[in-house]
Structure formats: C-alpha cells, structure tokens
C-alpha cells in the first residue's frame, strides 16, 4: 500500500472489485485500514469495469483519492478512467491476478523495477530501428515511433496516475506498417495462456497475415477471429522488468517477467502512448534477443545494458 500507492492517513481508498475478487479485496482492506480510516470495499458487476456505461463507472472511479481495482475484466473504454485521472485520482488496476502471484510480486524491490523500466523507456525514446530474434526462429524488424517510451513502474505516487499492477515493463509503439517478419511466441499468448508448443505469427506491414503451429495456434486463430479484422495490427512492443514476476498464464503478469519480450496486437485506431490503453491481445517471448540501432539490449533474455 505504501510502496506502490504511497497511501497517506489523510487520504481515502476505495477497493472496487467484482464478485470473484471479494476475498482478495478484504485482504487489501485489512492492510489499508492500518494506514487510513477512510477505506471501503465496493463490489460491482465485472461488466462495469469495461466501461460500456461510462457515467456509472465514472461515479465509482471518483469516489476516493485512490482507487484499487480487482477484476477479471479488461478495459475497452478508457474515457471514464481518463476523466477520473483528470480529477487527480490515482488508479491501480489489477486484472485477473491470483493471490499467490500478488503476494510474490508485491514483495519486489519496486525502486529497482522502476529504475530498470525508466532506463529501457529512455532507450526506446531515442531509438530508431529494432531487431528481435530468438532461438525458436523469431526474426522481427520494426522502426520505433518517435515519442517518449512508455514506462510502467507500478509506483502511483503522483496525483492523476494510472498503472496496472504488478508494475514492471517498458514499451514502445512501432511506426505503423513497419513490423516485418515472423514472431515465434514460446511463452504465453492471449486466449490460450501458457504455451505447450510455439505459435508462429507471420507479420507484413505491421499486420498479422498468418497464424500457424499446432493446436494452440488454432485456438489463438479462433480467438483473434472473434474480434474485428483491424484487431490484427502490432500496436505495442516491450520488455518485462519485474524480477519477481513468473510466467503463469495471466498475460498482464506474464508480459512483466524480467527479460521477456512481448508484443501487443490490437487496433491502431485506439492505440495510445500512455499506460492507460484499451484492451489488446498479448504474446510473450522467452529468452529473446533485442537489438536497437545496433546496440544489444537483451541477449537470450539477459540484459546487456
């Protein structure tokens, strides 16, 4: 509570949860009540967090100085969250997290994660060309969008900040249409979870044109087909920086595992340059090599910087 949220005695905290996370919400309550007397738990249907009823969600999101959200839902409409942030609310979003995972990752050295993430984001900010490979056959090239690298430290110390927890990733948006090659996903994949066999994505001009592999490739193809066709663009790429995170099949946690590389598959029209972004599919690569402008950043999943 104090490391990540920097919760003060004079502040109020609302723990928003859907029914699935009521037990975990009570654990947070017991910790928070030792810091401030203004703590309350609010249980709502998980559909509320998606944002299909913006005014209802805004009502809940502006109910305290700090909002801690426990849900199995992904964010599809970011507008209610943006309005709450504009009012100075700090929002921590914990999607689909298991209690044992939470205990492990929240015991991490958060400042170390923050420093590592910031350093990577700075490299992304000034980089121009990138190459990603791995021993399973990945060979992906792309140019980096000319903007500040996206960093998620997990530290919510300032008014109007948002983070998915656990923290620990640095990301960059590729220039639209520049991603080219094949990506062999060998860790975890949205709609599938932990992979038993690699899933291969053929990418041309930033768009997934082919998905192949075994049974899990078929599952992912079917999953991706449940969205509109414009959800097949590569919208983000990044590196995990959390030394306490472990691959578990929950993609918001998996993409933060130290030394992994992940790609975000979504709609370019809704892509943002902040930590708050609409839902996108994620794939995680283990033991990747990452080179930016000829400089080795990752080698077999180990940092070279």
Per-residue pLDDT tens over the stretch 228-259? 888 999 999 999 999 999 999 999 999 999 99
Is 50 domain-assigned? Answer: yes
Please indicate, yes or no, whether residues 120 and 86 belong to a single structural domain of this protein.
no
pLDDT at 75: 85
Is 100 domain-assigned? Answer: no
Q: Which of 95, 129, 149 is the last residue of a domain?
A: 95
Report the greatest alpha carbon distance in the chain: 55
pLDDT at 107: 78
Please indicate, yes or no, whether residues 116 and 155 belong to a single structural domain of this protein.
yes
Non-local CB neighbours of 156 within 8 Å, separated by 6+ positions: 4, 5, 6, 66, 90, 91, 92, 162, 163
Is 4 domain-assigned? Answer: no
Is 17 domain-assigned? Answer: yes
- Compare 156 and 271 and report the one with higher pLDDT: 156
pLDDT at 51: 67
Is 52 domain-assigned? Answer: yes
Please indicate, yes or no, whether residues 171 and 261 belong to a single structural domain of this protein.
yes
Please indicate, yes or no, whether residues 139 and 73 belong to a single structural domain of this protein.
no
- Compare 174 and 54 and report the one with higher pLDDT: 174
What is the domain range of residue 23? Answer: 13-95
Please indicate, yes or no, whether residues 127 and 228 belong to a single structural domain of this protein.
yes
The structure tokens 């609302």 sit at: 14
Is 2 domain-assigned? Answer: no
Alpha helices in 62-206, H assignment, sequence order? 79-86, 99-105, 110-126
Give, in degrees to the nearest 5, the angle at Cα 137 between 215 and 263.
75
Please indicate, yes or no, whether residues 169 and 279 belong to a single structural domain of this protein.
yes
Share the mean pLDDT of the chain. 93
Is 48 domain-assigned? Answer: yes
Please indicate, yes or no, whether residues 235 and 121 belong to a single structural domain of this protein.
yes
Phi and psi at residue 143, to the nearest 5°: -100, 150
- What is the spatial distance between Cα 156 and Cα 152, in angstroms, rounded to a whole number? 10
- Compare 45 and 35 and report the one with higher pLDDT: 35
Give, in degrees to the nearest 5, the angle at Cα 28 between 27 and 29.
90
State pLDDT tens for residues 148-189.
Answer: 999 999 999 999 999 999 899 999 999 999 999 999 999 999
Please indicate, yes or no, whether residues 194 and 268 belong to a single structural domain of this protein.
yes
Non-local CB neighbours of 159 within 8 Å, separated by 6+ positions: 88, 89, 90
98 to each of 168, 234, 238, how far by Cα in Å?
17, 28, 23
Candidates 287, 286, 268; CA nearest to 277 is: 268
Please indicate, yes or no, whether residues 138 and 242 belong to a single structural domain of this protein.
yes
Six-digit token pair at 9? 């005695």
Task: State yes or no: pLDDT of 126 exceeds 90.
Answer: yes
Please indicate, yes or no, whether residues 123 and 88 belong to a single structural domain of this protein.
no
- Compare 91 and 53 and report the one with higher pLDDT: 91
Please indicate, yes or no, whether residues 199 and 224 belong to a single structural domain of this protein.
yes
Q: Kind of pairing, strands 90-95 and 162-164? A: parallel
Looking up residue 44, the CATH number of its domain turns out to be: 3.40.50.2300
Non-local CB neighbours of 111 within 8 Å, separated by 6+ positions: none
Please indicate, yes or no, whether residues 167 and 191 belong to a single structural domain of this protein.
yes
pLDDT at 269: 80
Is 223 domain-assigned? Answer: yes
Q: How many domains does the chain have?
A: 2
pLDDT at 272: 75
Residue 298 — pLDDT band, cuts 50, 70, 90? very high
């Amino acid at each position: 509570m104090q490391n990540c949220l920097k919760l003060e005695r004079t502040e109020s905290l609302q723990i928003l949860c859907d029914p699935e996370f009521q037990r975990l919400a009570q654990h947070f309550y017991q910790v928070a009540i030792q810091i401030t007397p203004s703590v309350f738990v609010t249980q709502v249907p998980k559909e509320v967090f998606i944002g299909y009823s913006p005014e209802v969600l805004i009502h809940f999101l502006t109910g305290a100085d700090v909002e801690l959200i426990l849900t199995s839902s992904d964010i599809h409409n970011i507008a209610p969250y943006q309005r709450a942030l504009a009012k100075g609310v700090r929002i921590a979003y914990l999607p689909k997290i298991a209690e044992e995972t939470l205990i492990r990752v929240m015991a991490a050295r958060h400042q170390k994660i923050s420093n590592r993430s910031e350093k990577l984001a700075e490299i992304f900010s000034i980089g121009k060309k990138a190459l990603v490979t791995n021993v399973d056959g990945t060979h992906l090239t792309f140019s980096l969008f000319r903007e500040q690298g996206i960093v998620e430290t997990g530290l919510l110390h300032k008014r109007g900040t948002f983070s998915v927890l656990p923290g620990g990733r640095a990301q960059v948006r590729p220039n639209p249409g520049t991603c080219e090659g094949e990506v062999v996903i060998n860790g975890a994949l949205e709609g599938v979870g932990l992979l038993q066999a690699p899933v291969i994505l053929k990418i041309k001009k930033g768009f997934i044109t082919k998905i192949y592999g075994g049974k899990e490739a078929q599952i992912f193809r079917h999953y991706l087909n449940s969205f509109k066709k414009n959800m097949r663009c590569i919208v983000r790429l990044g590196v995990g920086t959390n030394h306490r995170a472990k691959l578990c099949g929950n993609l918001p946690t998996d993409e933060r595992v130290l030394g992994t590389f992940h790609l975000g598959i979504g709609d370019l029209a809704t892509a943002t340059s902040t930590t708050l972004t609409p839902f996108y599919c994620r794939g995680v690569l283990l033991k990747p090599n990452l080179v930016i402008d000829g400089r080795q950043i990752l080698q077999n999943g180990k940092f070279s910087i």
